[in-house]
Amino acid sequence: MKPATLEFIKQRFTEYYREGHLIAPPSVSEREWGFMYFESQAAAISMHRHMAFSAKRELFDYIRNVVPAHIYYSSAYYAEPAAPTMGEKRWYGADLIFDLDADHIMKGPYHLMLSKVKEETEKLLEMLTEELGFEKRAIRVVFSGGRGYHIHVTDISIRSWGSRERREIVDYVRGIGIEPRTIFSRDAQECAGGWRSRLQDVMEEYLAWLKERSANEALEHLTSIGGIGAAIANDVIKGIEDMIGELHRGDVPLLLRRRGVKTILSEKNPEFRRRLEECSARADEPVTTDTKRLIRMPTSLHGGSGLRVTPLAVRDLPAFDPLIDAVVFGRREVEVEPALTTSTRFLDNDYRVEKGVTERIPEALAVFLCCRGLAEIAGGRSIAAG
């Protein structure tokens, strides 16, 4: 990055932080803080952590004076957050965090990734509130400023949970370890929603798909599943109509007792698993089970995009558009030199910049492109990348 570009971004960040948009997380003084600075970005990227602030004023002063590129705090609460080792910090709890990152879900244009990951977030919220019963007011949704959303559950009754308990929750939303036989061995007992009904749908979809295959295709598909030989595969193909019937009659246990079906309708079958994943909420597991993570501070700016890490109430998510609502800079025009030809949907417009063709674009877009390394401020002297 050219010095002029760096200077430009840093000035914009300074302006934003000086204007006072910051909101501190609850219990500031019990959190560990971590920062990445613009100055050290060129060098090996390094996080400066184990920092602590006794009050939000002190934190804000620091941010306004130093203007970091990235700001993080611990989901954990510590007695001594600045202590250098985890043992000395004395952990006594942590918020429950979910990280939904479009990178783990799909590849494609940025705005499409963002809308896909938003759907995923809505699915997760629905599971957390409707099924698991977490209260909406204990849940904060945050646009990460990058490719996804974070969910913070601050419910005090689960604060002391270790990884083991957190894993139970993330496995639930992800559908990990699901055992159809166990689920359908019980009566629905006025509680037939959740994974039971999702699983039923997936089975239906999959069997319908299988039925559509030609005999050869179906055979090839089934025998590619570990543990399924030609004999079982042929049984399944012959019995497909009966199986669909059993499913519709709600006689799933009978269906699952058929030879090979337990394997075919399981995670071992990639075709089945893919459908199962579609209806799960794809939160990144290690983030949830790690009780000592650093997470981006809501209301800070993301140094890799210039977008605002935006906190949202659950009810505000549906109307939220990150490429409008997380943009904090203005429309004043700035001249940039694109490093790559890029098409971007931004502030409700479609922009296209050509590699090497200097162009005047709104400041907000300039920050976005420069932060992502897609453009430089025009006219600045270049320095060798180091």
Partner 1 sequence: MGERLDLKFLARYPFLKESQEYVGERVLDLDRFLSSGYGRLILNRGAERVMASIGFKGVLPGEQVGEPERALYSYALARVIVSCIGERDLIERLCRYEAAKATALFLEEGEEGQKFVSSRLGIDLGSREMPVVKYVELASFMRSESWRLVNRAVCRGRVRLEREELIELMREQIRQIIQKQLPLQVNAELCEKIAPMRQEILRVLQEQTLQQFGEVQESSFPPCMRALIDAITSGRNLPHQGRFALTAFLHTIGLSNTEIVEIYRRAPDFDISKTMYQVDHIAGARGTEYTPPSCATMRTYSLCIGKDEFCERVGHPLRYYLRRKKGAKKKRERGSGDLPGDSPAGAADDGEIDEERNRVAETIARHRREDEEKKDEEQQS
Enzyme catalytic residues: 99, 101, 284
* Contact map string, positions 114 to 133, toward partner 1, x by CB under 8 A: ----------------xxxx
Q: Give the whole-angstrom CA distance, residue 300 versus residue 70.
A: 8
Q: Is 85 in the site for partner 1 (CB under 8 A)?
A: no
Q: Is 368 in the site for partner 1 (CB under 8 A)?
A: no
**3-class secondary-structure state, position 276:** helix
**Cβ proximity to partner 1, 110 vs 172, nearer residue:** 172
Note every long-range contact of 243-248, with CB atoms under 8 Å and residues 24 or more positions apart, other chains counting: 243/207, 244/204, 244/207, 244/208, 244/211, 247/200, 247/203, 247/204, 247/207
**Cβ proximity to partner 1, 278 vs 321, nearer residue:** 278
Contact with partner 1 (CB under 8 A) among 188, 340, 357, 383: 188
Structure tokens that stand for 379 in this block: 């006219």
Structure tokens that stand for 3 in this block: 């010095």
Q: Give the whole-angstrom CA distance, residue 320 versus residue 115.
A: 10
Q: Is 367 in the site for partner 1 (CB under 8 A)?
A: no
Q: Is 178 in the site for partner 1 (CB under 8 A)?
A: yes
CB of 265 to partner 1, least distance (A): 14
Q: Is 250 in the site for partner 1 (CB under 8 A)?
A: no
Give the number of other Cβ atoms within 10 Å of residue 363's Cβ. Answer: 17
CB of 79 to partner 1, least distance (A): 16
Q: Which span sits near partner 1 by CB under 8 A: 166-174, 210-218, 295-303, 346-354? A: 166-174
- Residues 6+ positions from 194 with CB-CB distance below 8 Å: 127, 131
Strands (E), 55-119: 70-74, 76-78, 91-94, 96-101
| Count of residues that bind partner 1 according to CB under 8 A | 37
Q: Give the whole-angstrom CA distance, residue 61 versus residue 209.
A: 60
Q: Is 253 in the site for partner 1 (CB under 8 A)?
A: no
Give CA separation, 199 vs 129, 178, 186, 259, in Å. Answer: 20, 9, 14, 19
**3-class secondary-structure state, position 305:** coil
Contact with partner 1 (CB under 8 A) among 10, 50, 196, 262: 196
Give the phi and the psi of residue 148 in degrees, each rounded to 5. Answer: -175, -160
Q: Is 313 in the site for partner 1 (CB under 8 A)?
A: no
Structure tokens that stand for 169 in this block: 């929750």
Structure tokens that stand for 184 in this block: 């359908």
Q: Is 186 in the site for partner 1 (CB under 8 A)?
A: yes
CB of 267 to partner 1, least distance (A): 6
Q: Is 161 in the site for partner 1 (CB under 8 A)?
A: yes
Contact with partner 1 (CB under 8 A) among 193, 229, 253, 356: 193
Q: Is 355 in the site for partner 1 (CB under 8 A)?
A: no
Contact with partner 1 (CB under 8 A) among 176, 219, 247, 317: 176
- Residues 6+ positions from 120 with CB-CB distance below 8 Å: 100, 105, 281, 282
**Cβ proximity to partner 1, 129 vs 234, nearer residue:** 129
CB of 278 to partner 1, least distance (A): 14
Q: Is 33 in the site for partner 1 (CB under 8 A)?
A: no
Q: Is 189 in the site for partner 1 (CB under 8 A)?
A: yes
- 149 and 312 in contact (C-beta within 8 Å)? no
**Cβ proximity to partner 1, 149 vs 195, nearer residue:** 195
Contacting residues toward partner 1, per CB under 8 A: 130-134, 155, 157-158, 161, 164-165, 167-169, 171-172, 175-179, 182-183, 186, 188-196, 267-268, 270, 273
